[in-house]
Amino acid sequence: MGSETVVEIIRQALWTSFWLSLPLLAIGFFAGVLISLIQIVTSLQESSVSTVPKLAAFLAGLLFLLPWMLHRIVAYTQNLLGDFSRYAR
């Protein structure tokens, strides 16, 4: 296995982890901005008011996106482990 193959495997792993984490990070970002705006408008600056809705948004997003995430990670794993002959060269 050459260095190009190792670099390609690492590159694919990083891109897969990026695409898997991106939707949840976006959900957290937009939930945080929305909760902050609500706190500014209502002048309610309690930490539990901001934490609980963010956690609920993460959980809802995870439950909604879990089938897609599992499909992506299974496809990556099948691609990686599907053909060992290309690594033996």
pLDDT value, residue 89: 63
- Location of structure tokens 């609980």: 52
C-alpha to C-alpha distance for 58 and 35, rounded to whole angstroms: 13
Closest by CA position to 32, among listed 61, 12, 10:
61
C-alpha to C-alpha distance for 51 and 78, rounded to whole angstroms: 37
C-alpha to C-alpha distance for 37 and 42, rounded to whole angstroms: 9
C-alpha to C-alpha distance for 42 and 84, rounded to whole angstroms: 59
Question: pLDDT 10s per residue in the chain (89 long)?
Answer: 678 888 888 999 999 999 999 999 999 999 999 998 988 888 887 877 788 889 999 999 999 999 999 999 999 988 888 876 766 66
Tell me the two tokens of residue 2: 């050459």
